[in-house]
Chains A and B, each alone.
Chain A
Amino acid sequence: MWAAAVPGREPAIKLFKRLTPIFRGPVSWPIVDPDRRNEFMRTTDALTTDLEFLAVALEPTFGTCDTEALREQNRYRRQQLVVLAGGVTGAVVGALEAVFAKAVWLGALVALLALLSVVYAQAMRKRRALEQYVDYRVRAERLRSLYFQYVTRVEPFGDDDRQDRLKAEVAVVKTQNAASGNGNPA
């Protein structure tokens, strides 16, 4: 999430700022800005060992969960946009049909749109993009939290077996289904 603080030219229209990323591929950012991490590692021995261990034991799983969360988020939002576009099109075609009552093909088009909407809604239910999105996001954020708990050696990483504890925690996050409520300690 550090990427959000990267300075750049901000568009004045915020309303549609989240629209373009929906159509891009998922881009997962590391938990910590690599430059800042390297700088801390250069100056602090205590951090170097921990961050190197985390880079192997936690970050790959985080990367997978974060990427999947972004992918499913985009998929879910694209699906919803198709539904919204379908609604607008249906309303406009319906209005046209009311005006051009003799154009039978407009009636057929409205019926076709309605049918496509039903089929699409069914396909969306099967994909379960929203559940997947929430599930992977909760997992990724849990891993992010474990990362910093480990570095600061707070519970449950205060003892000598902290590396084993971390591996076990990562394995739990990897396998459990967060959407069922097991993955989010909150």
Chain B
Amino acid sequence: MNPAVPPDRVLDFYRECRLENQRAFYQDRAQEYETANTQLSWLTMILLVAAFAAGLLSIWQVGFDTATWGIVAAVCSALVAAIAGWGTLIGFQQNAKLYRGAAAALDELGRRLANPATQPATILKVEEVLQSENGQWGRQLTADS
């Protein structure tokens, strides 16, 4: 089968409603997850420092007794574990990478879409990239659980 080149308006529809929309989605989500991952690292560090400080203060019994500072240290440590779990659940780091990669691939394919000779093949390639991202995401999610 030799598929016909889509008419210009159909191609505009595809470019805007599929390719550009999906690329914008990946870029926005990658940006959000990268920021979230940085915030997660900072919060983890702050809580670990707080746990360390509580440990030291418990030795010197500053303000409260050893037991109270021990509880504070335990709460901080438990929150670190919970926040790390939240990061794994959403998959900030892995998904940010995945989305960046998919956005870059779509960026390149978007340029190729301008060439009428390769339009049908490029559209199929775009769909392949999107399905591939979806497959990787599913495998990653299942593996993380």
- Smallest Cβ distance from A61 to chain B, in angstroms? 17
- Pairwise interchain contact B120-A152, C-beta atoms closer than 8 A: yes
Residue numbers in A under 8 Å from B141 (CB-CB): 130, 133-134
**Assembly CA distance A13 to B82 (angstroms):** 17
From B33, B67, B89, B145, A99 is in contact (CB under 8 Å) with B67
- Pairwise interchain contact B130-A13, C-beta atoms closer than 8 A: no
- Pairwise interchain contact A153-B3, C-beta atoms closer than 8 A: yes
**Assembly CA distance A183 to B75 (angstroms):** 44
Taking chain A's interface residues, is the majority helix, strand, or loop, or is none over half, making it mixed? helix
Q: Sample 10 A-B pairs with CB under 8 A, ordered by A number.
A: A2-B21, A40-B17, A47-B13, A88-B82, A92-B75, A96-B71, A145-B130, A149-B127, A152-B10, A158-B3
Q: Which residues of B contact A (CB under 8 A)?
A: 1, 3-4, 6-7, 9-14, 16-18, 21-22, 24-25, 28-29, 32-33, 35-36, 39-40, 43, 67-68, 70-71, 74-75, 77-79, 81-82, 85-86, 89-90, 120, 123-124, 127-128, 130-136, 138, 141-142, 145
Q: A40-B13, A44-B10, A84-B89 are in contact. List 14 more A-B contacts (CB 8 A).
A: A4-B29, A14-B32, A81-B89, A87-B78, A87-B85, A88-B79, A95-B74, A137-B134, A149-B127, A152-B11, A154-B3, A185-B128, A185-B131, A186-B135
